[in-house]
Amino acid sequence: MLETTEKEDSIEVVQQRLLSLWVENDLLPKMAKESTNKENLHDILIFAKESKSKIPIITVGCQPMSEVAGMDGTTVSIVPRLDSRKNKRPARWADGITSFQQAMESFGISSHIFLSLSDMELLAQTIDNPQNKEFINTQRMDENMSLLVKMINEKGGSVSSFVHSKALGKMIGADDVEGVVKSMLPNWKGEKLTHTTNEDSTEPLPTALYDADPRLLPNFLLEEDEKRLLIWLDMMSDLATKDHQQLRDSINRNLSNTPLISPATNGGKWDAAGEPVIEFKNKQQFMAQLLGMGDLSIESKREWLVRLNNTVHDEDLVRLLGVLGIEVQIDSMESRVNAVRLIEEITFGSSDFTLRRVKEIQFEELRLKNLVANLGGFSSKQAFILITEGKVKIDGEVVEDINFVPQRGNTVTVGKKKESILV
């Protein structure tokens, strides 16, 4: 038989443990690129959960471009329309980001993404080549940005946009893109404006941007108290390996406590289909996985609990709670019900069950009077009265013998309690 006693650790400690398991077993393994400051990522998530603070996430991605031949024989870039079809890259990336935010939300962690498709390199091409300005469709840039933000928000994410060049200009004190570029690169002449060379080496303008963004954008977008919760999101093409390293190095230099994560893949051009964006398990799905329940589609709390109570083996319940730092022994129907209630509390945040530690009562050779007193918290006199008044049943039959010794497996019911006590 299991008796409940107050547990010293709160339910919040268990929730933190579950969140840590999700980070280690679902979030990090599915990263498209290697993350940095993993310990700080964990600390930020825990703090945001405890303090009910919203995590700010900043990301600046590559503006989709197509190269065409210019009138003077040079190569210029235009901005294609963002493809929002479900099987295309932007839509899949939006799915992955939304899934990431909603998974965190299921653990009680709110976040907001500040997103920009970079216009800096595209606009910089016109500084020394003003004849190419007619190829640069700034209206389409804004439309693409608005479309991507709309896609994410409609799917259930939380994101807003900012214009990369304007944000940098305001922080640097420059009036236009030329002023921004010349402030970052005083000796820059406008050469080498493709994003990377054939040798995949990062060029002067991207390098300067990698250092400028972590230094300037948090001050432009965030309040001072928000910066300690900042997470940077890498949404560059998976193919730009040198660029990822530049960004990683810049984050470490300028924002040493800020995690850099890549929760969704972005390979090649934006309009390429590529591999599907990775989906992240929410809290309920992750709990189901830990219980060995497979790809359970949880449509309602009641259905989930019925399936949990009817199909999950005792060993799985014990293993799951053990992983969460709760030691239990399930050897009766009551102890199983208590375990299920505890999982309900952890998963949904509410239950009739209060988090408790369970311990086994040594019932062997224990007379009925003493057993009833121990189980119900009664005095010996109260137990005697309950038994003699016929308010104690064993396996549904009234037993009035106070010296009767129940055996393992008997069901002992005291009074009008709906739940029987199994010993």
The domain total for the chain is 3
Neighbours of 227 (CB within 10 A): 15
Q: Count of CB atoms within 10 A of residue 165's CB? A: 22
Regarding whether 77 and 222 lie in a shared domain, the answer is yes
Phi, psi dihedrals of residue 118, rounded to the nearest 5°:
-65, 130
Residue ranges of the alpha helices (H) in 156-240?
A: 164-172, 177-184, 204-221
pLDDT over 60 at 197, yes or no: no
Asked if 89 and 221 sit in the same domain, the reply is yes
pTM of the model: 0.77
For residue 56, what pLDDT band results from cuts at 50, 70 and 90? very high
In angstroms, the first-to-last Cα distance of the chain is: 4
pLDDT tens sequence across 72-125: 666 667 788 888 888 888 888 899 999 999 999 999 999 999 999 888 878 887
Residue 108: Cβ within 10 Å count: 16
- Does 134 or 26 have the greater pLDDT score? 26
Specify the pLDDT at position 13: 84
Q: Which domain holds residue 3?
A: 1-29+280-360
Both 208 and 267 in a single domain? yes
Higher confidence at residue 358 or residue 227?
227
pLDDT at 5 over 70: no
Q: Are residues 164 and 217 in the same domain?
A: yes
End residue of a domain, out of 318, 342, 360: 360
Residue found under tokens 């640069």? 136
Instruction: Tell which of 328, 360, 392 closes a domain.
Output: 360
Q: Which runs of E-coded beta strand occur in 7-91?
A: 54-62, 66-69, 75-78
Per-residue pLDDT tens digits for 14-43 = 888 999 999 999 999 998 888 899 999 999
218 and 304 in a single domain? The answer is no
pLDDT band at 201 (very low <50, low <70, confident <90, very high): low
Q: Which residue did the predictor score with more confidence, 200 or 73?
A: 73
Whether 21 and 114 share a structural domain: no
308's tokens? 């949990």
How many percent of the chain have pLDDT more than 90?
35
pLDDT at 242 over 90: no
CB 82 within 8 A of CB 139: no
- Whether 163 has a pLDDT exceeding 90, the answer reads yes
15 & 44 share domain? no
